[in-house]
Amino acid sequence: MPIFTVLSTASSITLPSLLIVGAFYAWLAKRLDAVRLSYLSIGLLDWALLRYLSDQDWINLLWLGLLLGLSLLYVIQLDPGLQAIEDREKRHWLRLLAIGLIGLTALYQVEVSSAPLVQAGVTLLLSTGFILAGLILHIRAPLYIGTVTFVFQVLRVIGLYIDINGTLLWAIGIVLGLLFIWTASTFESRRSQVNELMSAWASELENWE
């Protein structure tokens, strides 16, 4: 009955009402040990957050991506139908989808923002968080998406700075040239060490979730 009441009064329901009903379903899910009932709580919490963001005129595509992506990650982590060992790869691809959605919306928000460098900082912090989460929790998806998002955003920030100050292009070219020379001069002597390190890292990733 609570969820039907919420839906029937959707146009006029208040934020406290959404949160109270969401808390009720969270309690009911824990009480009955029925995790899927908590999805109603997540949906109502997302609804309340979107309503609040809209009222404050703060809503944008990144917030939508965050709410949808984090909600999907919650489902992937707890859904009984995805916990079997043989579902490991399915969980991995679903995590890639959820975190990739957040990464893409963060990158897009930088392009449409009136303060792109500030928004780029937010994206870099977000991608760093994903990388740290992947390393700490030994989960591949946030590590992969976080790394790709971080590298792409750094390159994009460099591009933005070059548009502002063209002399930066020369400085970057000199630094990259010196880096390539150093890499070429030391690669042969360290190739075996690099190969061993890459093999060990690949073996370690195979055991990650």
Residues 158 and 175 in one domain: no
Residues 166 and 66 in one domain: yes
pLDDT tens digit sequence for 171-206? 666 776 777 776 666 665 666 666 676 677 677 777
Alpha carbon distances (Å) from 29 to 37, 70, 178: 5, 19, 59
Residues 80 and 13 in one domain: yes
Of 55, 47, 9, nearest to 25 by C-alpha is: 47
Q: How far apart are CA 9 and CA 17, in angstroms?
A: 11
Residues 35 and 98 in one domain: yes
pTM here is 0.85
Q: Are 69 and 102 in contact (CB under 8 A)?
A: yes
Residues 20 and 79 in one domain: yes
pLDDT at 195: 66
Residues 8 and 58 in one domain: yes
Of 132, 127, 171, 166, nearest to 148 by C-alpha is: 127
Of 155, 151, 183, nearest to 169 by C-alpha is: 155
Low-confidence stretches of the chain (pLDDT beneath 50): none
Q: Which domain holds residue 158?
A: 2-170
